[in-house]
Amino acid sequence: MKPIQKILAATDFSNRSTRALKYAIALAQATEAKLYILHAYRVPAVATGTPYPMAGLYTDTLTINQQVEKEVEQSFEEIKLLHLKDHPIRYEFISSCAFPEEAIEEAIPEKAIDLVVMGNRGDSSFEKLLGSTTTHMMRRTTCPILAIPENAVYAKVDHMLFATDYEQVNRADNFQALLGLARLFRAQIDVLHITSAQKKLSQEKLAIGEGLERILHTPHQYHHADSDDVLEGLQMFLKQHDDVGMVAVMPRDHSLWERLTHSSISKEIIFDADRPVLIFH
């Protein structure tokens, strides 16, 4: 199993994204991974009253860009002082004049990122930066994403809940982040299969379950919930098991993405909870 060696943390320098960054720093220290801290920004448009503005517009835009870069560097220095000086980790800052999702998508292959750590929301005026960007990245990237809720703090996790429908879960390389975090925390993986009470597992799904058993070379336990709705079944299980410290989901299609990012139940049990959520494909 490939260990987590490179972590990317996206920040907009808001209080909420700083909490996610602190989680990423602690995780990088625990895994001995290198941490890449990324900030993406856009240069505001420059208005001009002259009839032929191009030369002046170029100069003004360049000046604004330099000013923004200077402010970003100052913010990076503050991160060094406030959050990195007491943590002996390898790190690198990345600033990019781009939309955040574009900058993240570019950095993942360029830096060979194993895990992206992001906050669920941001305070900035730029489309609530990390909230919209996190949900966008969930849909687009194959790199595992660890979404950190506003009030989550880095702490030992005893139980990690993996919700599955036993579809396409037999590829071991898909589970590297889940298994890596489980071994780091020495946590038990609680595998939850949710299905309608009227449905029985097909032979194909039973075979997939057996494949999952071969993948999970770490302490784990199987659970079953009867529900016609995956998210309602997940909500029911979490209410009965408050010792779950992290949730892992493996959405397979667009409809489940929509449920995860727009459902009020999903908002309650995942995005408003204090537990981190691992999203992987």
List domains and CATH numbers for the chain.
6-148 (3.40.50.620), 159-279 (3.40.50.620)
In order along its 281 residues, the chain shows pLDDT tens digits of 678 999 999 998 988 789 899 999 999 999 999 999 999 988 765 554 444 454 444 456 667 778 888 999 999 999 999 999 988 999 999 999 998 889 999 999 999 999 999 887 544 433 343 455 666 666 667 799 998 888 888 999 999 999 876 655 656 777 889 999 999 999 999 998 877 655 555 544 554 556 677 788 889 998 888 877 777 788 888 889 989 999 998 776 545 555 565 566 555 665 556 789 898 87
The pLDDT, as a whole number, for residue 128 is 42
CA distance 22 to 30: 12
- If one counts every other C-beta atom within 10 angstroms of the C-beta of residue 264, the result is 9
Residue pair 146/8 in contact (Cβ under 8 Å)? The answer is no
The pLDDT, as a whole number, for residue 217 is 82
The pLDDT, as a whole number, for residue 190 is 94
The pLDDT, as a whole number, for residue 36 is 98
Q: Which residues pair with 97 in a beta bridge?
A: 41
pTM as predicted: 0.82
CA 56 remoteness from chain centre: 41
